[in-house]
Amino acid sequence: MDKIQLTKEQLGKIAAGVLFGCLFIYAYLTYFWLPLSKTIAENSRKIASMESDISNARAQKAKYKDLESKLESLKLEKEAAQKKLPKDRKFPDLLRTITDLGKKYGVNVRSITPTVSSKEAYFIKVSYQLSVACDYHSLGRFMTALGLEERILAMENLTISGTPGSDTSVAASFTLVAYQYNG
């Protein structure tokens, strides 16, 4: 092959074309491609951040639904606990309970006398001295019913004495302890 001989004028035109091409590429990259790619990269980061925020918000929303149901169940548990361990004495309710159970099980409640109260760490023990007359099995059913009441009640210091010659076979006295929340 023969060598191609270029004139100085042709070499100058080629050099000018290459120079203008390089300048065009430099101007295109500097003024169009790089700013546009930076904007694309920033927008991509913003989109990724927004998608992350959206997924976090969805997770929080899912937790919120669980929190609502948990709050409702805790409210129900609180109400049940307050029935078992009320903040107030609620003596009329206790008196009504004792009277109703006495009628139900054939127990004649002779007297109910409030006695001392003692404060513990989380509750107050409110004591009442009860005197009842009934037959032996009725007393057992009555005391069992008191122990099964929704409010926490306990019997202490039970004294039973027989009463021969009467329609009721035993007389009993005991201390009924009702617990009250100390808070």
Count of beta carbons in the 10 Å neighbourhood of residue 142 = 23
C-alpha closest to that of 173 among 152, 150, 156: 156
Residue tagged 């790089």 (tokens): 34
When pLDDT is averaged across residues 20-39 and rounded to a whole number, the result is: 88
> What is the helix (H) or strand (E) element at residue 148, kind and residue range?
none
pLDDT over 90, % of the chain = 27
Taking a C-beta distance cutoff of 8 angstroms, is the pair 134, 106 a contact?
yes
Q: Given strand 153-162, what is the order of strands in its sheet?
A: 108-119, 123-134, 170-181, 153-162
When pLDDT is averaged across residues 152-170 and rounded to a whole number, the result is: 82
Q: What confidence score (pLDDT) does residue 30 get?
A: 87
pTM value is: 0.57
pLDDT over 70, % of the chain = 93
C-alpha closest to that of 101 among 64, 153, 63, 49: 153
Those residues whose C-beta lies under 8 Å from the C-beta of residue 151, and which sit 6 or more positions away, are 83, 84, 85, 86, 90, 93, 94, 97, 178, 179
Residue tagged 């004294």 (tokens): 159
Give dist(CA 124, CA 177) in Å, integer: 10
Q: What confidence score (pLDDT) does residue 132 get?
A: 94
